[in-house]
Chains A and B, each alone.
Chain A
């Protein structure tokens, strides 16, 4: 799409056609090679504009990286990082020998896997359903409705589910009114996977359709027509035209989700971990929170967090590599 835009601009202003996009905003495009100093003088307001955000990111995204040294210490907040004794890899040895850590790893992976099967296809199905609607006004209305829960907080979503499925919630209320026993799905470890997945579907499946709708809109309608003329019915058209059109988006999102496998909705988990119990609801992030912030075992939690961080980084890079192998752009394209 950007390509067409460039060509169009090129046609309007032929003088710019040999512009390589490297930009020469100064009124004198002839002087392409300017000295560093001259370029700085020319662009200093642009640099100044970019700086506040860059500084904030350096302080709040890069500087904390240094704080990971406490994972190699026996850190105490009272004496600070410089004075805390170094203990080498002792914390990591403890983490790897801790059954609670492995429980958190297992729960995290189980939840990721479960949601891959039961969450991931929902937005695709919803997008196909919406795309089959004829009337634009109807589509727009339903789109607006299904996007909405994405903008609610996790506290709100869990509260809503509590009111519907909790011990005193609507479901129990209806069961009791009909002479059955009420049930509390919100505190039952056995149904926990279904609970958090349905919460995730309620909150984010609607929002998830936005990319698929965009991909569906990009499919050339003539392909459908040609297929129909060749005698393909609606299911064959979906199989041979629609799904191939969605393939690259699906592959990309799938790979990115796998790269993010060690992260499962943190706020969602921490809100419900106490009600359901650590056995089923402890994931890596909540493990770090409870051991570090709650129990004050700072270095130990930092070690667990660092393990997660390093593996996640590896997964994301690997996922990008795979995305490129599939001919996709990965997380971003440099443009």
Chain B
């Protein structure tokens, strides 16, 4: 398989400069360094101050006049309060549940479909594939989609956050491209030995596809975790709101964060509470991301090659 995705190697493979390339001047080097520093700062700077503010005490926040840039007194009151069984806690549970169930369903359905369509010439291969691909060219529109979901009785059901977005054709195409690259000889010999397609998928194909499976699972998981508009559209019962909707109401719409119960250490400042909600929305991504991101180039390269 690696042969297919090999060209990810650049012309710079070693740490040394090729002999024909001139050494850049000191000004050019400094300029490039500064530019890179600014890019990294633009990404990480905001995250730094938000995390820091979420764990700062009222005194430190008042002194800073808002977001905290220089660490002062540290306090975890904000997290204690919002994770103490209030609206945010419930929203976190809703989001975790939807993300877990949704990702599992999406992965099962997508892997099966990608493998089922990985052999051109099999029965009904072309019509099934086209049924998938054509959907990339149109979208039915918001109103008809709403009418469908409401017609199915899914308004206010968690399934309305899962089923309409359960299948991503793009993800299936990436998986399928990878499965098609697996050496046919291995699969054929398993077949001659009498293994069923299910068994081949589970015991040969999947173990060979860990990287691409991890990337696709991340894509689906992030999609469910971040989904916001489906909930605005399909969920009217505020007790069922996922975290993103709650985040919007507290941070963007200025609804004050409830559940400010005194837990013994005093009440956390409201800015810290808001920042803590932002951090909680960010944390699952920050946890999973490092493990999966190294596979991106591979996973996306296949998508680029195929599409």
Contacts and interface: CB of A to CB of B under 8 A. Distances in A.
Interface of A: 1-2, 4-5, 8-9, 12-13, 16, 21-27, 36, 39-40, 42-54, 56-68, 70, 77, 81, 126, 129, 131-136, 140, 142, 144-149, 151-156, 158-160, 162-164, 168-170, 173, 176-177, 202, 206, 210-211, 213-214, 216-219, 221, 224-225, 228-229, 233-234, 266-267, 270-271, 275, 285, 288-289, 292-293, 298, 301-302, 305-306, 308-309, 312-313, 316-317, 329, 331-333, 335
A67 B306 contact: no
B300 to A, nearest CB: 5
Interface in B189-205: 191-192, 196-198, 201
Contact of B138 (A16, A154, A301, A313): A313
B113 A53 contact: yes
Contacts of B187: 25
The A contact surface, by secondary structure, is helix
Interface size class of B (residues with CB under 8 A): 35 or more
Contact of B163 (A60, A145, A153, A219): A60
A177 B65 CA distance: 8
Contacts of B11: 217, 219, 221, 224
B142 A305 contact: yes
Nearest to B232: A270
In this complex, the member of B10, B145, B226 whose beta carbon has the largest number of chain A beta carbons within 10 angstroms is B10
Contacts of B13: 136
Contacts of A62: 135, 140
Q: Which 10 residue pairs of A and B lie closest in terms of their CB atoms, listed nearest first?
A: A67-B144, A49-B116, A50-B116, A153-B226, A64-B140, A53-B113, A22-B121, A221-B11, A305-B141, A43-B123
Contacts of B20: 224-225, 228-229
Contacts of A285: 142
B290 interface: yes
A154 B222 CA distance: 12
A318 to B, nearest CB: 12
Given A225-B20, A301-B143, A144 B131 contact: no
Contacts of B123: 36, 39-40, 42-44, 46-47
Contacts, number: 342
B44 interface: yes
A288 B143 CA distance: 8
A53 B110 contact: yes
Interface of B: 3-13, 15-18, 20-22, 24, 32, 35-36, 39-40, 42-44, 46-47, 49-50, 64-67, 108-110, 112-113, 115-117, 119-125, 128, 131-133, 135-148, 150, 163-164, 166-167, 169, 172-173, 177, 180-181, 183-185, 187-188, 191-192, 196-198, 201, 218, 222, 225-229, 232-233, 244-245, 247-248, 251-252, 275, 278, 281-282, 285, 289-290, 293-294, 296-297, 300-301, 304-307
Contacts of A25: 119, 122, 187-188, 191
B3 A5 contact: yes
Given A5-B4, A160-B50, A214-B7, A332 B136 contact: yes
A293 B146 contact: yes
16 contacts: A42-B123, A45-B196, A47-B124, A49-B201, A50-B116, A50-B128, A64-B145, A67-B141, A129-B35, A133-B36, A142-B36, A153-B244, A176-B65, A225-B20, A292-B142, A292-B143
Contact of A53 (B43, B132, B180): B132
B128 A173 contact: no
Q: Which of B36, B115, B150, B225 gathers most chain A CB within 10 Å?
A: B36
A221 B36 contact: no
Contacts of A133: 12, 36
A156 B143 contact: no
A287 B227 CA distance: 20
